Amino acid sequence: MKVAFRKAALLITTVTAVGLATLVGTSQAVNHGADGGQSTDLSDASNAGVTDGKAAAGLEKVGNFGSNPGALSMYRYKPDGLPEGSPVVVALHGCNQDATMYFDNAGWQKFADAGKFSVVAPQQELTNNGLKCFNWFEPGDVGRDKGEAQSIKQMVDKTVSDLKADPKKVYITGLSAGGGMTASMMAAYPDVFAGGAVIAGLPHGCANNSGEAWTCMSPGVSKSADQWGDIAKKADPGYSGPRPKVSIWHGTADTKVVPKNATESVKQWTNVLGADQEADGTESLPGGTTRSDYKDGNGDVVVRSYIIDGMAHGTPVKPSEGCGKTGANFFDTICSSQYIAKDWGLGG
């Protein structure tokens, strides 16, 4: 059974000065913007526009998608004229956010329309986590065919069936706690996802309880590439097929999930995907972004890191280019959704 208001409450989007005891048992947490200034709590405001029908950003709530052991809600966007055999993108929100907020602010509708793919937007509920964080640190929620991970997989299956989508073109991305869950979904279901993008997130298996979660977030946990790789591979032991290519996005001024997590994530996924930890090439991109490519033995880029100089904890967007909206944990630097879609071959 899901535990209401779990102590872990993944406090990624809350200031660490607010004591854990203050947050247990209440959704009225204080949320701080990544600039350190206090902003209004998003746990209520972010629900605006989410209904049982069409939401403001074009999401539609979908029911009866499976046994739903993680007790999540499913939202989905289907562009007009979507053809059969289209790709599917799963987008996981951060703490104190919801499906509509993340879909809208990250700008995914524009790229779904242009690239002709559907978007599945799982939503965490307060009854599972007091700050609406996906429980990336709970073994019962990140294992294959367990808890929240299984619920997300069922949403994918439902979408592939309903829309006659291509099961070989399913991708996943997420911010913060959603980024941690993205890493775990790629580890637990390497047969499901063709690619993933972890934004301000953490390596899979960094924490197995709430206490460890704090340490993973800051100051971070160091392991060898082999150790990280083994943790990811054990999520689906015996699997020997193709695995999703991965991109890692992180700001150098992130004090909530420190940049060390990006370094450790690169170690994990380069090991899993057969690359070493030395970049094969780097490139300067807009917004103070440095992209580094890591190639496998066949010369294919299997891991990319996007490090944004001076950016705090959040998702990079570019409203002046029609890419998303700024706000708490959304920063005007570079259009991450566009680059992610392009990396997946979905246009952009």
184 labelled catalytic: no
Alpha carbons 22 and 33: distance in angstroms, whole number: 19
Alpha carbons 40 and 194: distance in angstroms, whole number: 37
In this structure, which amino acid lies at residue 48? A
The answer to whether 173 touches 245, Cβ cutoff 8 Å, is no
Q: Looking at the chain, which runs of residues are DSSP E strands?
A: 31-32, 38-39, 60-62, 73-77, 88-92, 118-123, 170-175, 195-199, 245-251, 281-285, 289-295, 301-308, 315-317, 330-332
Show Cβ contacts of residue 306 under 8 Å, excluding neighbours closer than 6 positions.
247, 248, 249, 250, 285, 289, 290, 291, 316, 334, 336, 339
Alpha carbons 305 and 197: distance in angstroms, whole number: 9
Torsion of CA 320, 326, 330, 332, to 10 degrees: 40
Torsion of CA 260, 264, 265, 266, to 10 degrees: 110
- Catalytic annotation, pick one of 46, 86, 118, 176: 176
Residue where the block lists tokens 């807009």:
286
Question: Which one-letter DSSP state was computed for residue 296?
Answer: B
Three-state secondary-structure class, residue 99: helix
Query: Which token pair is 144?
Result: 């294959």
Phi, psi at residue 227, to the nearest 5°? -65, -45
In this structure, which amino acid lies at residue 247? S
By annotation, the residues acting in catalysis are 176
